Structure 1
Amino acid sequence: MSLGATLKRFLESETTGRQIGGEVASIIENISKASIELAQTISFTPPVEKTEDELAPGADLQRPLDTLAHNLFETQLCNSPASMLVSEELDGLKELGGESSLCVTLDPLHGSANIETNMSIGTIFSIIDIDRATPGDPLDAINSGELLAAGFFVYGRQNTLTLSCGNGVSIFSFNPATSQFVLIKEHVCIPQGQKEFAINTSNYRNWDSGVRHFVDDCISGRDGPLGADYNMRWNASLVAEAYRILIRGGVFLYPGDSRQGYENGRLRFLYEAMPIAFIMEQAGGKAIDGFERILERKVTSLHGRVPLIFGSVDMVKQAGEYFTNDPTENTRFPLFASRNLLRN
């Protein structure tokens, strides 16, 4: 596919010949339409003054713009073949009008707290072919399904869509002159060897020893155990971090820690960690919870949280060794929480 091709043309090429390819393409196109409207709304949204309640630590607050974003996507998805929707802004799984077996997971506006500081925010989604014949809990249908596609939008200097339909990763940029997303990068491959890590070091005192030792050794630079100088990044925006790693390489870490409510980190598994992990692996990278692949985990709750490490294979493996082999690991708060509950 040549650079400059429209998203529609790309999807026609990408999904031709697949049993449900046309339905997947239609859903992605509808999601992209909602993202265009959302980006326009964000660009003209004045900053909202924070209240004391909004500053409460660890709270997932639902701002008016979060609700608006969800409504935009839900409206478009109701006009698509999608049959089910899981959204951060919904308590449970919602039945849509589509007759397909496709379920959409959605974080409609990730990082909405960053709007006041004009930082990049975005939307994360995935499309799962679920087994609707599975009796009982809908989670069983999701766990027995197949992840077909995932993507995320970044609303910033450029409005971009990073997308994988299971055949590598491509990046699109919105062209306001034509009101279309056009292909700007294809066959994205995460660079290896980039000595760069992203973690919120203000939580250092709450981490287990493995996390602390990894960060300490990175900061020690060429005179330390790792024998190289490392840069540190932290944008407090998952979509911005993911985009940067796809382009530059390195590793992102959001571990669990000793604070109440942070034992499993803060990122949601189904509609944040899982789509990002899918994209990272499709770009030749790796995504783990500290012990196992994110994509090998089972969904135990629609809004369940999971620790997350992703990036280039070399950096993720390097970080993972600290977490699994650290001799002084503090067992009071297992670094990436309990594993046995999520293993078969």
Structure 2
Amino acid sequence: MPSRYMTLDDFLARALDGEHDEAGAYRLRSVIGEIALAVRAIAAMIERVMLDGSAGAGADIQAAAHELMMALCERSACVAGYSAAQSNGARAATVTAATAATARNGYLLTFEALDGAAQIAENGLAGSIFSVREAACGSMANEMDKDARETAWRRGGDALRAAAHALYGPSTLLVLTLGRGTHGFTLDRASDTFVLTHHAMRVPDEGLEVSIDGAREHAWEPPVLRYVRECRAGSVGVRERDFSLRHGGCAVADLHRILMRGGVSIVPRESRDLQDASGLDLVHAAQPLAWLVEQAGGAASTGRERVLDLRPGALDARTGVMLGTTREVARIERYYGEYERGVDRPFDSPLFNERSLFRPEACA
């Protein structure tokens, strides 16, 4: 097993050896190095925010992190194009071809610069999400027309070459996959380097953690409602186990807890008129996080299909996601299948109502 004190640079040198031609390995290593540099800078911003005492610290640092990432992409010779979730939470995404002429054979970088920014003023957890994608046709040169660039971004999860999330908390952690396992690197502030501290992370086969925003229960689809109600019933319900339900307000932090402890993180696609604003951003968040989970032995689904099999119709497309322990994700998928086949419709009787033994919850 690699040394606990292996640096990120050393890890990348070994992991990419023989996997790409020399120039390709250099470009990918450079892009990931730029991501690590940005994470260190964002962590430093967060540490300073409490000293400033700004009431609008969350919004200010979110905008600053967004600008920092865009500047990084603009100056990188290995980023051929980038797309960012808007820092103000709007659904639109920014898509730009890199200005560096040498980036013709570079990679496409997507990012959500700061997730959970509203919690920073309260000394809460925040995170960032990144993905590195292969450019279609091997190029994102400036002379490509707009349609060609849009097509390059709308490829599915098979275009991913690296995915990462950063977690800003008591320590700064960068969790990375290159498609051969998921690994965690902790920032050593003394040397200002990331060192390997979580080699080959694995989502536990059993887990009692459920992360979901309970305030949105009124808008959940019936399969999600069924699953969560079963978990709430705990040891006296059909699951016969007590679950821990919590929601931290930061998708990265919620998912990281599932990576470490097992269970499932749910960001549901909501019903009725709320679907356009619900779920996770597919390109900038859902697919990178899904790849990290799958490479750690977990599963990532919409309830109806695998997240990485989706091809976005637009860069601002959103989707519901269930990320975590394979067994729990499979259970939710089963509930979706039963709901769509009409076999789990609740027993409706004025005589028995919710106390009926014939309700699905009692028969599971």
Question: CA-to-partner distance for each residue in 1:80-108, whole Å, 9 max, x for gaps?
Answer: 41100001137431111223241001001
Question: CA-to-partner distance for each residue in 1:276-333, whole Å, 9 max, x for gaps?
Answer: 0010000010001110000000021112211111001011111222222134569xxx
- Counterpart of 1:107 in structure 2 is 112
Q: Distance in 2 between matches of 1:310 and 1:329?
A: 25
Shift of 1:138: 2.5
- Alignment of 1:220 with 2:233, yes or no, is yes
- Counterpart of 1:75 in structure 2 is 71
Shift of 1:47: 5.3
Q: Check the 8 A contact 2:105/2:138 in 1, yes or no.
A: no
> How do residues 308-323 of structure 1 correspond to structure 2 at under 5 angstroms?
308-323=321-336
- Alignment of 1:131 with 2:128, yes or no, is no
Q: Distance in 2 between matches of 1:268 and 1:86?
A: 12
Q: Distance in 1 between matches of 2:138 and 2:198?
A: 39
- Counterpart of 2:354 in structure 1 is none
Q: Which amino acid aligns with 2:4?
A: L
- Counterpart of 2:142 in structure 1 is none
Shift of 1:140: 2.0
- Counterpart of 1:17 in structure 2 is 18
Shift of 1:266: 3.5
The 1:84/1:319 distance shift into structure 2, 3 A limit, reads same
> How do residues 56-71 of structure 1 correspond to structure 2 at under 5 angstroms?
63-71=59-67
> Which SS does the other structure have where 1:83 is aligned?
strand
> How do residues 166-177 of structure 1 correspond to structure 2 at under 5 angstroms?
166-177=179-190
- Alignment partner of 2:39 out of 30, 35, 39: 35
- Alignment of 1:158 with 2:163, yes or no, is no
Q: Check the 8 A contact 1:193/1:249 in 2, yes or no.
A: yes
- Counterpart of 1:292 in structure 2 is 305
- Counterpart of 1:336 in structure 2 is none
Q: Which amino acid aligns with 2:81?
A: M
- Counterpart of 1:235 in structure 2 is 248
Q: Distance in 2 between matches of 1:190 and 1:72?
A: 32
Q: Distance in 2 between matches of 1:257 and 1:67?
A: 28
The 1:82/1:162 distance shift into structure 2, 3 A limit, reads same
The 1:288/1:173 distance shift into structure 2, 3 A limit, reads same
- Counterpart of 2:317 in structure 1 is 304
Q: Check the 8 A contact 1:209/1:329 in 2, yes or no.
A: no
Q: Distance in 2 between matches of 1:47 and 1:162?
A: 30
> Which SS does the other structure have where 2:46 is aligned?
helix
Q: Distance in 1 between matches of 2:183 and 2:95?
A: 29
Q: Distance in 1 between matches of 2:66 and 2:104?
A: 21
> How do residues 193-204 of structure 1 correspond to structure 2 at under 5 angstroms?
193-204=206-217
Shift of 1:259: 6.2
TM-score normalised over the length of structure 1:
0.87
- Alignment of 1:6 with 2:2, yes or no, is no
Residue range with higher mean Cα deviation, 34-43 or 221-230 = 221-230
Name structure 2 gaps, 5 residues minimum: 87-91, 140-144, 347-364
Q: Which amino acid aligns with 2:267?
A: Y
- Alignment of 1:191 with 2:204, yes or no, is yes
Q: Check the 8 A contact 1:129/1:147 in 2, yes or no.
A: yes
Provide the identity percentage. 26
Q: Which amino acid aligns with 1:310?
A: L
Q: Distance in 2 between matches of 1:312 and 1:82?
A: 34
- Alignment of 1:44 with 2:41, yes or no, is no
Q: Distance in 1 between matches of 2:314 and 2:53?
A: 33
Q: Check the 8 A contact 1:188/1:246 in 2, yes or no.
A: yes
Residue range with higher mean Cα deviation, 86-95 or 270-279 = 86-95
Shift of 1:137: 4.2
Q: Distance in 2 between matches of 1:68 and 1:168?
A: 32
Q: Check the 8 A contact 1:35/1:73 in 2, yes or no.
A: no
The 1:197/1:5 distance shift into structure 2, 3 A limit, reads same
Q: Check the 8 A contact 1:66/1:109 in 2, yes or no.
A: yes
Choose between structure 1 and 2: higher helix proportion.
2
Q: Check the 8 A contact 2:209/2:258 in 1, yes or no.
A: no
Q: Which amino acid aligns with 2:178?
A: C
Shift of 1:129: 0.5
- Counterpart of 2:152 in structure 1 is 141
**Cα RMSD (Å):** 2.2
Of structures 1 and 2, the larger Rg is shown by 2
Residue range with higher mean Cα deviation, 144-153 or 293-302 = 144-153
Residue range with higher mean Cα deviation, 294-303 or 90-99 = 90-99
> Which SS does the other structure have where 1:99 is aligned?
helix
Q: Distance in 1 between matches of 2:130 and 2:162?
A: 9
Shift of 1:116: 2.2
- Counterpart of 2:357 in structure 1 is none
> Which SS does the other structure have where 2:167 is aligned?
strand
